[in-house]
Structure 1
Protein backbone atom coordinates (compact mmCIF):
# COMPACT_ATOMS: atom_id res chain seq x y z
CA UNK A 1 0.00 0.00 0.00
CA UNK A 2 2.82 2.42 0.89
CA UNK A 3 4.59 1.64 -2.37
CA UNK A 4 1.40 2.31 -4.38
CA UNK A 5 0.84 5.61 -2.59
CA UNK A 6 4.42 6.68 -3.29
CA UNK A 7 4.07 5.83 -7.00
CA UNK A 8 0.82 7.79 -7.29
CA UNK A 9 2.31 10.78 -5.47
CA UNK A 10 5.30 10.78 -7.82
CA UNK A 11 3.00 10.67 -10.84
CA UNK A 12 1.00 13.61 -9.55
CA UNK A 13 3.97 15.86 -8.87
CA UNK A 14 6.55 14.85 -11.46
CA UNK A 15 4.65 13.61 -14.52
CA UNK A 16 5.69 15.54 -17.68
CA UNK A 17 3.19 18.08 -19.02
CA UNK A 18 1.09 17.40 -22.10
CA UNK A 19 2.53 18.94 -25.31
CA UNK A 20 1.10 22.40 -25.87
CA UNK A 21 -1.38 22.65 -28.79
CA UNK A 22 -2.22 25.90 -30.54
CA UNK A 23 -4.95 27.35 -28.33
CA UNK A 24 -5.86 30.98 -28.81
CA UNK A 25 -8.84 33.12 -27.88
CA UNK A 26 -9.73 35.02 -31.02
CA UNK A 27 -12.20 37.96 -31.13
CA UNK A 28 -13.65 36.93 -34.48
CA UNK A 29 -17.27 36.19 -35.42
CA UNK A 30 -18.40 32.61 -34.98
CA UNK A 31 -21.57 31.15 -36.55
CA UNK A 32 -24.42 30.61 -34.12
CA UNK A 33 -24.75 27.05 -32.83
CA UNK A 34 -27.18 24.76 -34.60
CA UNK A 35 -29.04 23.74 -31.48
CA UNK A 36 -31.80 26.07 -30.28
CA UNK A 37 -32.05 26.64 -26.50
CA UNK A 38 -35.02 24.94 -24.87
CA UNK A 39 -37.56 27.13 -23.18
CA UNK A 40 -37.32 27.05 -19.43
CA UNK A 41 -34.14 25.00 -19.49
CA UNK A 42 -32.40 27.40 -17.16
CA UNK A 43 -35.07 27.48 -14.48
CA UNK A 44 -36.74 24.09 -14.55
CA UNK A 45 -36.17 22.66 -11.08
CA UNK A 46 -32.81 24.36 -10.63
CA UNK A 47 -31.04 27.61 -9.80
CA UNK A 48 -31.32 30.65 -12.03
CA UNK A 49 -28.43 31.13 -14.45
CA UNK A 50 -27.37 34.16 -16.47
CA UNK A 51 -28.20 34.46 -20.17
CA UNK A 52 -28.14 30.86 -21.49
CA UNK A 53 -29.08 31.95 -25.02
CA UNK A 54 -26.81 32.04 -28.07
CA UNK A 55 -24.35 34.95 -27.88
CA UNK A 56 -24.35 37.60 -30.58
CA UNK A 57 -22.07 36.15 -33.32
CA UNK A 58 -20.52 39.59 -33.84
CA UNK A 59 -19.38 39.77 -30.21
CA UNK A 60 -18.19 36.24 -29.51
CA UNK A 61 -14.67 35.08 -28.60
CA UNK A 62 -13.55 31.77 -30.04
CA UNK A 63 -11.31 29.30 -28.28
CA UNK A 64 -10.02 26.50 -30.53
CA UNK A 65 -9.58 23.16 -28.79
CA UNK A 66 -7.72 20.03 -29.85
CA UNK A 67 -9.54 16.77 -30.53
CA UNK A 68 -10.83 15.08 -27.32
CA UNK A 69 -9.78 17.98 -25.11
CA UNK A 70 -10.26 17.91 -21.35
CA UNK A 71 -11.33 21.41 -20.30
CA UNK A 72 -11.53 22.31 -16.60
CA UNK A 73 -13.61 25.44 -15.99
CA UNK A 74 -12.33 26.85 -12.69
CA UNK A 75 -13.06 29.80 -10.45
CA UNK A 76 -14.42 30.79 -7.04
CA UNK A 77 -18.10 30.15 -6.21
CA UNK A 78 -20.36 32.55 -8.11
CA UNK A 79 -17.80 33.19 -10.86
CA UNK A 80 -20.14 31.89 -13.57
CA UNK A 81 -18.89 28.34 -14.16
CA UNK A 82 -22.32 26.71 -14.21
CA UNK A 83 -23.67 29.53 -16.38
CA UNK A 84 -20.97 28.90 -18.98
CA UNK A 85 -21.51 25.14 -18.90
CA UNK A 86 -25.29 25.50 -19.08
CA UNK A 87 -25.07 27.78 -22.13
CA UNK A 88 -22.61 25.39 -23.74
CA UNK A 89 -24.98 22.49 -23.22
CA UNK A 90 -28.13 24.13 -24.58
CA UNK A 91 -26.55 25.92 -27.55
CA UNK A 92 -24.08 23.32 -28.87
CA UNK A 93 -24.85 20.57 -31.37
CA UNK A 94 -25.46 17.17 -29.82
CA UNK A 95 -22.59 14.76 -29.59
CA UNK A 96 -19.83 17.38 -29.34
CA UNK A 97 -19.40 18.00 -25.62
CA UNK A 98 -19.63 15.90 -22.49
CA UNK A 99 -20.50 18.53 -19.86
CA UNK A 100 -19.93 17.57 -16.24
CA UNK A 101 -21.45 19.95 -13.66
CA UNK A 102 -22.19 18.91 -10.04
CA UNK A 103 -24.90 21.60 -9.87
CA UNK A 104 -27.09 19.45 -12.11
CA UNK A 105 -26.66 16.48 -9.78
CA UNK A 106 -27.29 18.61 -6.71
CA UNK A 107 -30.52 19.96 -8.22
CA UNK A 108 -31.77 16.42 -8.82
CA UNK A 109 -30.89 15.36 -5.27
CA UNK A 110 -32.70 18.40 -3.90
CA UNK A 111 -35.86 17.37 -5.74
CA UNK A 112 -35.55 13.83 -4.40
CA UNK A 113 -34.90 14.93 -0.82
CA UNK A 114 -37.42 17.76 -0.80
CA UNK A 115 -35.09 20.75 -0.47
CA UNK A 116 -31.61 21.93 0.38
CA UNK A 117 -31.77 21.22 4.08
CA UNK A 118 -28.84 19.15 5.34
CA UNK A 119 -26.79 19.62 2.16
CA UNK A 120 -23.51 19.30 4.09
CA UNK A 121 -24.46 15.71 4.95
CA UNK A 122 -25.31 14.53 1.43
CA UNK A 123 -22.82 16.75 -0.44
CA UNK A 124 -20.25 13.89 -0.61
CA UNK A 125 -22.82 11.82 -2.54
CA UNK A 126 -23.20 14.62 -5.09
CA UNK A 127 -19.48 14.80 -5.76
CA UNK A 128 -19.07 11.03 -5.72
CA UNK A 129 -21.59 10.79 -8.56
CA UNK A 130 -19.97 13.80 -10.27
CA UNK A 131 -16.55 12.15 -10.46
CA UNK A 132 -17.93 8.72 -11.32
CA UNK A 133 -19.64 10.34 -14.30
CA UNK A 134 -16.34 11.99 -15.22
CA UNK A 135 -14.50 8.66 -15.13
CA UNK A 136 -17.18 7.08 -17.34
CA UNK A 137 -16.79 9.90 -19.88
CA UNK A 138 -12.98 9.69 -20.16
CA UNK A 139 -12.79 6.80 -22.70
CA UNK A 140 -15.24 8.53 -25.08
CA UNK A 141 -14.56 10.80 -28.04
CA UNK A 142 -16.47 13.89 -26.92
CA UNK A 143 -14.69 16.96 -25.59
CA UNK A 144 -15.06 16.96 -21.79
CA UNK A 145 -15.90 20.25 -20.07
CA UNK A 146 -15.71 19.92 -16.29
CA UNK A 147 -16.92 22.23 -13.53
CA UNK A 148 -14.39 22.45 -10.69
CA UNK A 149 -13.25 25.37 -8.53
CA UNK A 150 -9.66 24.25 -9.31
CA UNK A 151 -8.41 26.22 -6.30
CA UNK A 152 -7.07 23.06 -4.65
CA UNK A 153 -3.60 22.08 -5.85
CA UNK A 154 -4.07 18.35 -5.27
CA UNK A 155 -7.34 18.40 -7.27
CA UNK A 156 -5.69 20.14 -10.25
CA UNK A 157 -2.85 17.62 -10.22
CA UNK A 158 -5.30 14.73 -10.07
CA UNK A 159 -7.35 16.10 -12.97
CA UNK A 160 -4.18 16.62 -15.00
CA UNK A 161 -3.18 13.02 -14.29
CA UNK A 162 -6.60 11.71 -15.38
CA UNK A 163 -6.29 13.68 -18.63
CA UNK A 164 -2.87 12.19 -19.36
CA UNK A 165 -3.97 8.65 -18.53
CA UNK A 166 -6.92 9.02 -20.94
CA UNK A 167 -4.64 10.63 -23.58
CA UNK A 168 -6.56 13.89 -23.59
CA UNK A 169 -4.90 17.32 -23.92
CA UNK A 170 -5.87 19.20 -20.74
CA UNK A 171 -6.72 22.89 -20.57
CA UNK A 172 -7.57 25.09 -17.60
CA UNK A 173 -10.05 27.92 -18.17
CA UNK A 174 -10.03 30.30 -15.19
CA UNK A 175 -12.94 32.68 -14.57
CA UNK A 176 -11.37 35.71 -12.90
CA UNK A 177 -13.98 37.78 -11.03
CA UNK A 178 -14.07 40.29 -8.21
CA UNK A 179 -15.55 39.50 -4.81
CA UNK A 180 -18.57 41.67 -5.68
CA UNK A 181 -19.15 39.67 -8.89
CA UNK A 182 -18.81 36.42 -6.96
CA UNK A 183 -21.43 37.48 -4.40
CA UNK A 184 -23.70 38.75 -7.18
CA UNK A 185 -23.43 35.43 -9.00
CA UNK A 186 -24.42 33.58 -5.83
CA UNK A 187 -27.37 35.91 -5.31
CA UNK A 188 -28.62 35.37 -8.86
CA UNK A 189 -28.44 31.60 -8.66
CA UNK A 190 -30.09 31.62 -5.23
CA UNK A 191 -27.35 29.65 -3.48
CA UNK A 192 -25.03 31.37 -1.05
CA UNK A 193 -21.81 29.64 -0.15
CA UNK A 194 -21.04 29.72 3.61
CA UNK A 195 -18.74 32.63 4.46
CA UNK A 196 -16.04 30.35 5.85
CA UNK A 197 -15.97 28.28 2.64
CA UNK A 198 -15.97 31.39 0.45
CA UNK A 199 -13.03 32.90 2.35
CA UNK A 200 -11.08 29.65 1.94
CA UNK A 201 -11.62 29.64 -1.83
CA UNK A 202 -10.66 33.32 -2.06
CA UNK A 203 -7.43 32.81 -0.11
CA UNK A 204 -6.43 30.07 -2.51
CA UNK A 205 -7.44 32.07 -5.56
CA UNK A 206 -5.55 35.16 -4.30
CA UNK A 207 -2.38 33.08 -4.21
CA UNK A 208 -3.04 31.58 -7.63
CA UNK A 209 -4.15 34.74 -9.47
CA UNK A 210 -0.65 36.24 -10.07
CA UNK A 211 0.65 33.01 -11.62
CA UNK A 212 -2.51 31.83 -13.38
CA UNK A 213 -1.07 32.70 -16.80
CA UNK A 214 2.31 31.07 -16.12
CA UNK A 215 0.96 27.60 -16.72
CA UNK A 216 -0.04 24.66 -14.58
CA UNK A 217 1.78 21.30 -14.43
CA UNK A 218 -0.20 18.67 -16.33
CA UNK A 219 -2.16 21.21 -18.41
CA UNK A 220 -1.28 22.06 -21.99
CA UNK A 221 -2.66 25.59 -21.67
CA UNK A 222 -4.13 27.96 -19.11
CA UNK A 223 -6.49 30.79 -20.07
CA UNK A 224 -7.87 33.44 -17.70
CA UNK A 225 -11.06 35.20 -18.76
CA UNK A 226 -13.55 37.61 -17.20
CA UNK A 227 -17.19 36.73 -16.56
CA UNK A 228 -18.19 39.01 -19.44
CA UNK A 229 -16.00 37.02 -21.83
CA UNK A 230 -17.36 33.77 -20.33
CA UNK A 231 -20.87 34.82 -21.43
CA UNK A 232 -19.66 35.26 -25.01
CA UNK A 233 -16.98 32.61 -25.45
CA UNK A 234 -17.44 29.80 -27.98
CA UNK A 235 -15.49 26.58 -27.53
CA UNK A 236 -14.59 25.07 -30.89
CA UNK A 237 -13.21 21.50 -30.67
CA UNK A 238 -11.22 20.14 -33.59
CA UNK A 239 -12.47 17.19 -35.59
CA UNK A 240 -10.67 13.87 -35.53
CA UNK A 241 -7.49 13.83 -37.58
CA UNK A 242 -6.83 17.58 -37.38
Structure 2
Protein backbone atom coordinates (compact mmCIF):
# COMPACT_ATOMS: atom_id res chain seq x y z
CA UNK A 1 0.00 0.00 0.00
CA UNK A 2 1.23 3.49 -0.88
CA UNK A 3 2.15 5.61 2.15
CA UNK A 4 0.49 8.99 1.76
CA UNK A 5 0.29 11.79 4.27
CA UNK A 6 -1.86 14.88 4.21
CA UNK A 7 -0.47 17.91 5.97
CA UNK A 8 -2.99 20.05 7.81
CA UNK A 9 -2.34 23.77 8.24
CA UNK A 10 -4.62 25.98 10.34
CA UNK A 11 -5.07 29.61 9.33
CA UNK A 12 -7.48 32.44 10.09
CA UNK A 13 -10.43 33.10 7.78
CA UNK A 14 -9.63 35.09 4.61
CA UNK A 15 -5.88 34.55 5.01
CA UNK A 16 -3.20 35.04 2.38
CA UNK A 17 -1.23 31.79 2.30
CA UNK A 18 2.08 31.76 0.44
CA UNK A 19 3.19 28.34 -0.83
CA UNK A 20 6.91 28.88 -1.34
CA UNK A 21 9.94 26.81 -2.27
CA UNK A 22 12.66 26.70 -4.86
CA UNK A 23 11.55 26.24 -8.49
CA UNK A 24 10.72 22.58 -9.08
CA UNK A 25 10.13 21.78 -5.40
CA UNK A 26 6.63 20.52 -6.14
CA UNK A 27 4.44 23.53 -5.34
CA UNK A 28 2.25 23.15 -8.44
CA UNK A 29 1.79 19.43 -7.84
CA UNK A 30 0.89 20.03 -4.20
CA UNK A 31 -1.69 22.65 -5.19
CA UNK A 32 -3.49 20.05 -7.32
CA UNK A 33 -4.11 18.19 -4.03
CA UNK A 34 -5.25 21.25 -2.02
CA UNK A 35 -8.34 20.96 0.15
CA UNK A 36 -9.63 23.97 2.10
CA UNK A 37 -12.45 24.74 4.52
CA UNK A 38 -13.57 27.87 2.72
CA UNK A 39 -13.51 29.12 -0.87
CA UNK A 40 -9.95 29.38 -2.13
CA UNK A 41 -8.36 31.39 -4.92
CA UNK A 42 -5.04 29.98 -6.13
CA UNK A 43 -2.71 32.31 -8.03
CA UNK A 44 0.31 31.04 -9.92
CA UNK A 45 2.40 32.90 -12.49
CA UNK A 46 2.03 29.84 -14.76
CA UNK A 47 -1.65 30.75 -15.10
CA UNK A 48 -0.61 34.07 -16.65
CA UNK A 49 2.03 32.42 -18.82
CA UNK A 50 -0.46 29.83 -20.11
CA UNK A 51 -2.92 32.57 -21.04
CA UNK A 52 -0.33 34.78 -22.76
CA UNK A 53 1.68 32.08 -24.53
CA UNK A 54 -0.67 31.56 -27.50
CA UNK A 55 -1.13 35.32 -27.81
CA UNK A 56 2.50 36.46 -27.81
CA UNK A 57 4.51 35.38 -30.88
CA UNK A 58 7.90 35.83 -29.18
CA UNK A 59 10.15 33.54 -27.13
CA UNK A 60 9.26 33.55 -23.42
CA UNK A 61 12.49 35.30 -22.41
CA UNK A 62 11.20 38.49 -24.07
CA UNK A 63 7.95 38.65 -22.11
CA UNK A 64 8.88 36.89 -18.84
CA UNK A 65 8.83 40.21 -16.99
CA UNK A 66 5.25 40.84 -18.18
CA UNK A 67 4.18 37.47 -16.73
CA UNK A 68 5.63 38.25 -13.31
CA UNK A 69 4.33 41.82 -13.24
CA UNK A 70 0.83 40.62 -14.17
CA UNK A 71 1.03 37.87 -11.53
CA UNK A 72 1.87 40.43 -8.84
CA UNK A 73 -0.95 42.73 -9.93
CA UNK A 74 -3.35 39.78 -9.75
CA UNK A 75 -2.17 39.08 -6.18
CA UNK A 76 -3.03 42.64 -5.12
CA UNK A 77 -6.39 42.57 -6.91
CA UNK A 78 -7.35 39.20 -5.40
CA UNK A 79 -6.19 40.23 -1.91
CA UNK A 80 -8.74 43.04 -1.97
CA UNK A 81 -11.60 41.61 -3.98
CA UNK A 82 -11.67 37.80 -3.73
CA UNK A 83 -13.56 36.13 -0.87
CA UNK A 84 -12.13 33.30 1.20
CA UNK A 85 -8.56 32.11 1.26
CA UNK A 86 -5.94 33.39 -1.15
CA UNK A 87 -3.14 30.91 -1.87
CA UNK A 88 -0.19 32.32 -3.80
CA UNK A 89 2.34 30.05 -5.51
CA UNK A 90 5.68 31.89 -5.46
CA UNK A 91 9.29 30.83 -4.79
CA UNK A 92 9.59 33.76 -2.33
CA UNK A 93 13.33 33.36 -1.85
CA UNK A 94 13.81 37.10 -2.44
CA UNK A 95 13.03 39.51 0.42
CA UNK A 96 11.43 41.94 -2.05
CA UNK A 97 8.95 39.30 -3.17
CA UNK A 98 8.04 38.44 0.42
CA UNK A 99 7.59 42.15 1.18
CA UNK A 100 5.23 42.55 -1.79
CA UNK A 101 3.13 39.63 -0.56
CA UNK A 102 3.06 40.99 2.99
CA UNK A 103 2.06 44.42 1.68
CA UNK A 104 -0.80 42.99 -0.40
CA UNK A 105 -2.09 40.98 2.54
CA UNK A 106 -1.68 43.74 5.12
CA UNK A 107 -3.37 46.41 3.01
CA UNK A 108 -6.28 44.04 2.37
CA UNK A 109 -6.55 43.07 6.04
CA UNK A 110 -5.55 39.46 5.51
CA UNK A 111 -3.53 37.40 7.96
CA UNK A 112 -0.39 36.07 6.23
CA UNK A 113 0.95 32.52 6.51
CA UNK A 114 4.11 31.17 4.91
CA UNK A 115 4.39 27.52 3.83
CA UNK A 116 7.84 26.38 2.70
CA UNK A 117 7.92 23.21 0.59
CA UNK A 118 11.39 21.85 1.12
CA UNK A 119 13.24 19.99 -1.62
CA UNK A 120 16.87 19.43 -2.44
CA UNK A 121 18.39 21.07 -5.50
CA UNK A 122 18.49 17.66 -7.24
CA UNK A 123 14.82 16.96 -6.47
CA UNK A 124 13.84 20.44 -7.69
CA UNK A 125 15.84 20.07 -10.90
CA UNK A 126 14.14 16.71 -11.52
CA UNK A 127 10.79 18.44 -10.95
CA UNK A 128 11.63 21.12 -13.50
CA UNK A 129 12.67 18.51 -16.05
CA UNK A 130 9.47 16.52 -15.47
CA UNK A 131 7.34 19.65 -16.07
CA UNK A 132 9.55 20.79 -18.96
CA UNK A 133 9.94 24.18 -17.32
CA UNK A 134 13.63 24.76 -16.71
CA UNK A 135 14.61 27.88 -14.81
CA UNK A 136 17.77 29.57 -16.12
CA UNK A 137 20.80 27.99 -14.40
CA UNK A 138 22.11 31.14 -12.68
CA UNK A 139 18.60 32.02 -11.45
CA UNK A 140 18.07 28.49 -10.13
CA UNK A 141 21.42 28.58 -8.33
CA UNK A 142 20.41 31.83 -6.58
CA UNK A 143 17.06 30.34 -5.53
CA UNK A 144 18.84 27.25 -4.17
CA UNK A 145 21.39 29.32 -2.24
CA UNK A 146 18.74 31.61 -0.71
CA UNK A 147 16.38 28.69 -0.10
CA UNK A 148 19.03 26.72 1.80
CA UNK A 149 19.69 29.72 4.02
CA UNK A 150 15.96 30.24 4.60
CA UNK A 151 15.44 26.60 5.54
CA UNK A 152 18.19 26.82 8.16
CA UNK A 153 16.58 30.01 9.49
CA UNK A 154 13.14 28.33 9.64
CA UNK A 155 14.59 25.45 11.63
CA UNK A 156 16.02 28.03 14.06
CA UNK A 157 12.55 29.53 14.53
CA UNK A 158 12.67 32.43 12.08
CA UNK A 159 9.37 33.76 10.73
CA UNK A 160 9.71 36.15 7.78
CA UNK A 161 8.71 39.73 8.50
CA UNK A 162 4.97 40.31 8.26
CA UNK A 163 3.89 36.66 8.41
CA UNK A 164 1.95 35.21 11.35
CA UNK A 165 3.43 31.74 10.95
CA UNK A 166 5.75 29.47 9.01
CA UNK A 167 5.08 25.82 8.26
CA UNK A 168 7.94 23.72 6.91
CA UNK A 169 6.57 21.09 4.52
CA UNK A 170 8.29 18.09 2.98
CA UNK A 171 7.42 16.16 -0.15
CA UNK A 172 6.96 12.97 1.87
CA UNK A 173 4.83 14.73 4.46
CA UNK A 174 2.50 16.12 1.81
CA UNK A 175 2.33 13.07 -0.46
CA UNK A 176 -1.42 12.84 0.24
CA UNK A 177 -2.00 16.56 -0.23
CA UNK A 178 -2.43 19.74 1.74
CA UNK A 179 -5.47 20.65 3.82
CA UNK A 180 -5.97 24.22 4.96
CA UNK A 181 -8.34 24.43 7.91
CA UNK A 182 -10.07 27.59 9.03
CA UNK A 183 -11.34 27.55 12.63
The superposition leaves residues 31-83 of structure 1 with CA deviations (integer Å, 9 ceiling, x where unpaired) of xxxxxxxxxxxxxxxxxxxxxxxxx9x74222122100110111111001111
Aligned residues: 178
Task: Provide structure 2 residue ranges, at least 5 long, that are not aligned to the other structure.
Answer: none
Q: TM-score, normalised by structure 1?
A: 0.67
Match of 2:51 in 1: 108
The superposition leaves residues 156-201 of structure 1 with CA deviations (integer Å, 9 ceiling, x where unpaired) of 1221122111111100000111111111101110111111111111
Give distance in 1, aligned partners of 2:72 and 2:181.
23
Q: Is this contact kept in 2: 1:175–1:230, CA < 8 A?
A: no
Give distance in 1, aligned partners of 2:68 and 2:174.
24
Are residue 134 (structure 1) and residue 75 (structure 2) matched?
yes
Alignment RMSD: 2.1
Equivalent of 2:115 in 162, 169, 173: 173
Match of 2:125 in 1: 183
Runs (4+) off by over 6 Å: none
Three-state SS of the structure 1 residue aligned to 2:130 is helix
Q: Is this contact kept in 2: 1:61–1:233, CA < 8 A?
A: yes
Taking a change above 3 Å as real, the CA distance of residues 196 and 119 of structure 1, as seen in their structure-2 partners, is: same
Three-state SS of the structure 2 residue aligned to 1:173 is strand
Higher relative contact order (CA 8 A, sep 6+): 2
Task: Provide structure 1 residue ranges, at least 5 long, that are not aligned to the other structure.
Answer: 1-55
Q: TM-score, normalised by structure 2?
A: 0.87
Q: Post-superposition shift, 1:113?
A: 3.4
Q: Is this contact kept in 1: 2:36–2:179, CA < 8 A?
A: no
The superposition leaves residues 135-161 of structure 1 with CA deviations (integer Å, 9 ceiling, x where unpaired) of 221123220000111100122122112
Q: Larger C-alpha radius of gyration, 1 or 2?
A: 1
What are the equivalent positions in structure 2 for 1:223-242 lying under 5 Å apart?
223-238=167-182
Q: Is this contact kept in 2: 1:64–1:236, CA < 8 A?
A: yes
Q: Is this contact kept in 2: 1:78–1:181, CA < 8 A?
A: yes
Give 1 or 2: higher strand fraction.
2
Three-state SS of the structure 1 residue aligned to 2:53 is helix
Tell me which moved more, 185-194 or 228-237: 228-237
Give distance in 2, aligned partners of 1:169 and 1:82.
22
